[in-house]
Amino acid sequence: MRKTSILLAALASIALGPVGQAFAEPVRNVVIVHGALADGSGWRKVFDQLTAKGFKVTVVQPPMTSLEDDVAATKRILDQQDGPSVLVGHSYGGMIVTEAGTADNVAGLVYVAAFQPDAGETLLDLAAKTPAATKGIMATKDDYLYLDPAAFAADFAADIPADEARFMAHSQVYPAKAAFETKITTPAWKSRKSWALIATDDRAINPDLMRDMAKRAGSVPVEVKASHAVFMSQPAAVADLIEKAATTLSD
């Protein structure tokens, strides 16, 4: 009888999916981790919208020198939060929040046009599994990556003003290739509730790959017609999803 009870409890836990941390206070902190190639300044409109709704928003500026360094930079910001946080990752930032999101004060995760790796996977593993449309990723002689400026607007930011896309193409944040080759150890989505925004016109990450990763993680999916730069072209949709996650985690 006792074995049956244990089995039923285990099955119920699997069916319910990740339950996350239990907090006595509402989730009012939002920590955003930008991806490769673009820095955190592109999140200004999302920042403004969430701040206007009473959230405390912090944008991490990871060094992009290694996954370990980027996770450490994220945890440094998480340590400064007073109370629970929603941790948001874009693109390669999804790799970072997957590893950093096991911190005790992370209530849940929001993936925005992002990678959602499992244990033992690297970004390059996932990108090769379901290739993106872009063919413009290039490497410097010391193994840092960038997107060919000639392809940047079409493949990263097709739905923002041309002058903004041009500036982004020439102000890229180059990630170390080694960061894309580093395996995830403990995926936070296995112990935290998560949401995934899928940019349907994304050419930097295949939308089908995002759908598959979200399904595997049990994330709540939301599809938005946008490029990889959805945080800039559709800031209201991104802010609404983050707010929804925080509200759900506060119930």
Q: What percent of the chain has pLDDT over 90?
A: 90
The DSSP string of 112-151 is EEE--PPTT--HHHHHHHS--S---EEE-TTSBEEE-HHH
- Would you state the pLDDT for residue 22? 61
How confident is the model at residue 1, as a pLDDT? 44
3-state secondary structure of 3: helix
* Contact predicate 78/106, CB 8 Å: yes
Distance from C-alpha of 223 to C-alpha of 221, rounded to nearest angstrom: 7
Structure confidence by residue, pLDDT tens digits, 210-243? 999 999 999 999 999 999 999 999 999 999 999 9
Residue 45, CB half-sphere, CA atoms under 13 Å: how many? 13
> Given pLDDT bands bounded at 50, 70 and 90, which one contains residue 4?
very low
**CB 95 within 8 Å of CB 184:** yes
Name the residue among 251, 249, 202, 245 with its Cα closest to residue 111.
Answer: 245
Taking residue 77's Cβ as centre, other Cβ atoms within 10 Å add up to: 20
Q: Which SS3 state, helix, strand or coil, does residue 193 take?
A: strand
pLDDT score recorded for residue 18: 55
pLDDT of res. 21: 57
Find the mean pLDDT for residues 54-67.
Answer: 98
The tens digit of pLDDT for each residue in 92-115 reads 999 999 999 999 999 999 999 999
Residue 37 per-residue DSSP state: S
Q: Quote the Cα angle for 120-124-127, to 5°.
A: 110
Residue with tokens 């410097």: 140
Checking if the pLDDT of 7 tops 70, the result is: no
Q: Kindly provide the b/e burial profile for residues 209-221, where b requires at least 16 CB atoms within 10 angstroms of the residue's own CB.
A: bbbebbeebebbe
Tens of pLDDT, residue by residue over 156-204, are 999 999 999 999 999 999 999 999 999 999 999 999 999 999 999 999 9
Distance CA 214, CA 208 (A): 10
Which pLDDT value is given to residue 27?
97
Contact 237, 209 (CB under 8 A): no
Of all residues in the chain, what percent are helix, strand and coil, respectively (each to 5)? 45, 20, 40
pTM: 0.91
Task: Quickly state the pLDDT bin for 20 (edges 50, 70, 90).
Answer: low
Contact 198, 210 (CB under 8 A): yes
**Mean of the per-residue pLDDT values for the chain?**
93
Q: What is the pLDDT of residue 25?
A: 86
